[in-house]
Amino acid sequence: MRFLFLGDIFGRSGRTAVVERLPQLRRSLGLHCVVANGENAAGGFGITPDIAEDLFDAGVDCITMGNHAYDQRDSIAYFDDERRLLRPANFPSSNPGRGAGLYETESGYRVLVVQVHGQRFMAPMDDMPPAIERELAGLTLGVDADAIIVDVHAEATSEKGCIGHWLDGKVSLVVGTHTHIPTADTQILPGGTAFQTDAGMCGDYDSVIGMEKTTPVHNLLTKLRGPRMQPAAGPATICGLVVETDARTGLAVSAQPLRVGGRLAESMPTFD
């Protein structure tokens, strides 16, 4: 099967680009599943039910979140109601929502998506490995799921790399989110798991990680807090990666970055 993972969707610019271009990308790339991180979709902070529904209607099959999961407080109950919306699995178990989901695509493929929240340089959280083990318990790649995707929403590249190597051969993809910059290390690890330290963001890159650049630059130079930061509103680059898996094992046979539109150099996957 072939699936697309999209990095953090940031603000109106990012979500407009995804909604407008994803249907065509699904067709042209022959995608069976699309997973997108949406934790910055609502003005850079969280998500709303209306925004989530727009993304689902455009062809996103599952939305992962992160440290901004509950920023839109009026939307917290939506996490219990919508099983296609995931918050990190290592959040407190009493929190609304779930940290993993097993989904069946229109093509009949079964895809397990798991998300965890990093610990270094972020708010204190439970350990990632036990949360991942709990969500993978009793499920075997290639038997119970045709693909397993793990989103590591973390600041530290070392954490993302450690999780990738630890899960190598057990899942289809380990991919990082949160830092909004697409890394150039898209690869298939020795055991057959696709990996990229960070998928980047779907947003305007004439910015400071998605925010209009004037205020954060002012804050850095003066050490004085400027006006409230606002999402950059220019054309967005859609960033992510496309993974193709072996029909028998569920492991990756191809992993290629995708960058479309906006300011970054384009990278479009090709297949034989």
For residue 202, the one-letter residue type is C
Identify the active-site residue in 68, 117, 153, 180.
Answer: 68
Structure tokens at 210: 């998605």
Strand partners, 235: none
Buried (b) or exposed (e) across 171-203, using 16+ Cβ within 10 A? bbbbbbbbbbbbbeebebbeebbbbbbbbbbbb
DSSP letter at 116 equals E
| CB 184 within 8 Å of CB 242 | no
The CA distance from 123 to 92, in Å, is 13
Would you call 218 a catalytic residue per the annotation?
A: no
Q: How far is CA 60 from the centre of its chain?
A: 11
With beta carbons less than 8 A apart as the criterion, state whether 86 and 115 touch. yes
- Separation between Cα atoms, residue 201 and residue 181, nearest integer Å: 6
CA angle 170, 245, 100 (to 5 degrees): 50
What residue spans of the chain are helical by DSSP H?
11-29, 49-58, 78-81, 128-136, 157-167, 214-222
Residues known to be catalytic? 68
